Structure 1
Amino acid sequence: MNLQSQVALIPMKQEIFHSAEELELESGERLEEFDIQYTTYGEIAPDGGNVIWIVHALTGDSNAAEWWSGLIGEDKFYDPAKDFIICANLLGSCYGSTNPLSKKPGSDKSFFYEFPELTTRDLASSLERLRLHLGIRKIHTLIGGSLGGQVALEWAWELGDSLKNLIVLASTAKTSPWTIGFNETQRMSIESDVTWGEEIPNAGQVGLKTARAIAMLSYRHPKDFQRKQSDTEEKLDRFKASSYLRYQGEKLAKRFNALSYWLLSKTMDSHDLGRKRGGSAKALSEIKARVLAVGVNSDLLFLPEESQFISSHAKRGTYKEILSDAGHDAFLIEFEQLSSYIGSFYLEQKS
């Protein structure tokens, strides 16, 4: 049975939450109204104690069972037969939630470049709006990786006693200059596209291909490239690594848009859990949930010590490390290690 067939068998609901109440943003700007597309699997238990809320990464969507199939599904670690699993498409992303290509309220014109700046704190606030709308009082586990981990940290600080467990994968409490540098080079490639600045849906799409190729170099590790992209024959051109990066660029450009990519990469850059809270260490110490921070030994984008910082400053923090040559993307791949770490994290509560 292929992956699509397996996903089709998982009971799911996909809906759109519309908030008619304006959202005040950290920048001082406002979204008069907004939509969030979300996907749920399973049913909420009578006591509400089985809610697993997943926050996707930069170009992810709400269908977590598809992109995290090794962790979610029938007889998987998170099983809709026992868990109520929810994942919402982040505000600003282009899979059903309000984003730069959405129409302005009361207008037939899209936002395009006038879409307001978003921070991870703003994204957390929009998810909180959705939680209240759904009447979810408690979240058993909030889990996210990369940008999703940043948003999860912000939301965990806000949730207080309403959250039992926080799992942060390959992420950070504050975006480093190194990561900002990677993101800036990607935005520079989008800027170099002659269509960037035009008010058309596919503006910057050629530049987005290059941006994705740059991103892949930060998501993977040299050992992973050596193992998978080495050429067995002697040649002067048309290398496997070159074809791979071009393919990844083409693939993303077919399913994502440059305006959302630009916006969300800026969102990642601005992430700082300690902003106006006395610094990252103090903010982390104020998170009431138990915290599992998982780093990746080969991660070049969010270094393992950034995950260690999260666990060491959380009041009830635990650190685990994925051992893999895959680099940053290991949190999307190494399901056996993840399941083992999360399982032991849960068991510690019962001991």
Structure 2
Amino acid sequence: MEPQIYRTPGPFELETGHTLPELRIAYHTYGTLNAAKDNVAWVCHALTANSDVADWWPHTVEAGRFLDPARHFVVCANIIGSHYGTTGPLHMNPATGQPWYKDFPPFTIRDIVRAHRQLADGLGIGRIGTLVGSSVGGFQAVEWAVSEPERIDRLALIATAAKASPWAIAIDETQRMAIEADTSFGQPRDDAGMKGLAAARAIGLLSYRGPEGYNLTQQDREEHPAAHRACTYQQYQGEKLRRRYNAYSYYAILNAFDTHDAGRGRGGLEQALGRITARTLVVGITTDIIFTPEEMRHLHAMIPGSVYHEINSPFGHDGFLVEHEQLNHILLPFMNN
């Protein structure tokens, strides 16, 4: 299903002081907006996902699931800088008539959220029944709930944070170093930096899955002692992203990831999160090494009236993509109550 495109009126000013001469936002919707316009479930997507939730989040946009399109008007918008329709590095810079590539202006999580707020206005959406965000999508959801608390009725935050931690930033920097080590990165070509991108993805995957996930699924077969499954898996995952994405978008979004701090300019995290009025559900994953259960419980403690649940999974951070039955068991009653 091809995305729809919304164009913001006029240039889009970025928090970094730069300007996008034009901003197009790719988005998908599922279901029907009801007459009261109170059945919106808005999904904020993660790093390299797109706006087609049914494509990247298995068994969620289905009958009887928490994003049931018969019950909810599900909306997901592609983020600034992405490779999937929203204005990004491979789009044309109107000022030069050439793609932006590495010159794409730096942007922040707040810019992404402000763009999506404009999209919501353009779609005639006032209140959002449930705002759902996992991982980097959760960064957006936190920021939106803090910046516009009156708009959000329910807030579901899954494996995420209110501020990018030094540990998460270090993971991003290691991936950027891998991309920069590719001597083609920086060249004005769509395929520049692709070997670096593959290496960066393999590095990132270590933090997404963690030791339990790898040791469970990538054990070597006895009959092939020299062919390590873990090696071929890393190569496969790097190649898989290389075929569907581009290094400039990945690099730009990692930079935006690191700007996330809901407390910046708001008196710190506790004061900022105290603005949230939505009924809030915080979900951690037992083996997540990016956003640990301890950090998720701390996030829960800072959001007034929030409730906390935990998914038991050996698949680390990626558990939010894999453990759809557990996730549905938690989110379905929260969203439908």
Tell me the TM-score range normalised by the shorter chain: over 0.9
CA contact (8 A) 1:120 1:270 kept: yes
1:15 aligns with 2:4: yes
Q: Where does the alignment leave 5 or more consecutive residues of structure 2 unmatched? A: none
What whole-Å deviation, never above 9, does each CA across 1:91-122 have from its counterpart, x for those lacking one? 11010110011101244211112211111111
Q: What residue number does 1:330 align with?
A: 319
What whole-Å deviation, never above 9, does each CA across 1:18-70 have from its counterpart, x for those lacking one? 11322222211122210000000111011111100001100000110121131
Q: What residue number does 1:3 align with?
A: none
Structure 1 letter corresponding to 2:126? R
**Which residue of 305, 314, 317 corresponds with 2:306?**
317
Q: What residue number does 1:112 align with?
A: 101
Q: What residue number does 2:159 align with?
A: 170
Alignment of 1:276-295 (within 5 A): 276-295=265-284
CA contact (8 A) 2:65 2:332 kept: no
Structure 2 letter corresponding to 1:70? H
The Cα shift of 1:346 comes to 4.1
CA contact (8 A) 2:209 2:318 kept: yes
Structure 1 letter corresponding to 2:303? A
**Which residue of 129, 143, 160 corresponds with 2:118?**
129
**Which residue of 207, 229, 235 corresponds with 2:196?**
207
**Which residue of 34, 41, 45 corresponds with 2:23?**
34
**Which residue of 56, 62, 87 corresponds with 2:76?**
87
Judged with a 3 Å threshold, the aligned counterparts in structure 2 of structure 1 residues 238 and 174 are, in CA distance, closer, same or farther, namely: same
Q: What residue number does 2:51 align with?
A: 62
Aligned-partner Cα distance in 2 for 1:22–1:128:
15
Q: What residue number does 1:260 align with?
A: 249
Judged with a 3 Å threshold, the aligned counterparts in structure 2 of structure 1 residues 316 and 21 are, in CA distance, closer, same or farther, namely: farther
Aligned-partner Cα distance in 2 for 1:314–1:247:
40
CA contact (8 A) 1:94 1:257 kept: yes
CA contact (8 A) 1:173 1:306 kept: no
User: Which piece of structure 1 moves more, 286-295 or 66-75?
Assistant: 66-75
Aligned-partner Cα distance in 2 for 1:132–1:310:
29
User: Which piece of structure 1 moves more, 252-261 or 229-238?
Assistant: 229-238
Judged with a 3 Å threshold, the aligned counterparts in structure 2 of structure 1 residues 309 and 23 are, in CA distance, closer, same or farther, namely: farther
CA contact (8 A) 2:66 2:335 kept: no
Judged with a 3 Å threshold, the aligned counterparts in structure 2 of structure 1 residues 236 and 336 are, in CA distance, closer, same or farther, namely: closer
Structure 2 letter corresponding to 1:293? V
**Which residue of 64, 67, 76 corresponds with 1:75?**
64
The Cα shift of 1:145 comes to 0.6
Q: How many pairs align?
A: 337
SS in 1 for 2:99: coil
User: Which piece of structure 1 moves more, 22-31 or 82-91?
Assistant: 22-31
Percent of aligned pairs sharing the same letter: 42
Aligned-partner Cα distance in 2 for 1:98–1:225:
35
Q: What residue number does 1:196 align with?
A: 185
User: Which piece of structure 1 moves more, 127-136 or 151-160?
Assistant: 151-160
Q: Where does the alignment leave 5 or more consecutive residues of structure 1 unmatched? A: 1-11
Q: What's the Cα RMSD here?
A: 1.4
The Cα shift of 1:235 comes to 5.3
- TM-score computed with the length of structure 2 as normaliser: 0.96
Aligned-partner Cα distance in 1 for 2:144–2:123:
16
Aligned-partner Cα distance in 2 for 1:309–1:263:
29
The Cα shift of 1:291 comes to 1.2
Structure 1 letter corresponding to 2:32? E
Judged with a 3 Å threshold, the aligned counterparts in structure 2 of structure 1 residues 75 and 13 are, in CA distance, closer, same or farther, namely: farther
- TM-score computed with the length of structure 1 as normaliser: 0.93
SS in 1 for 2:187: coil
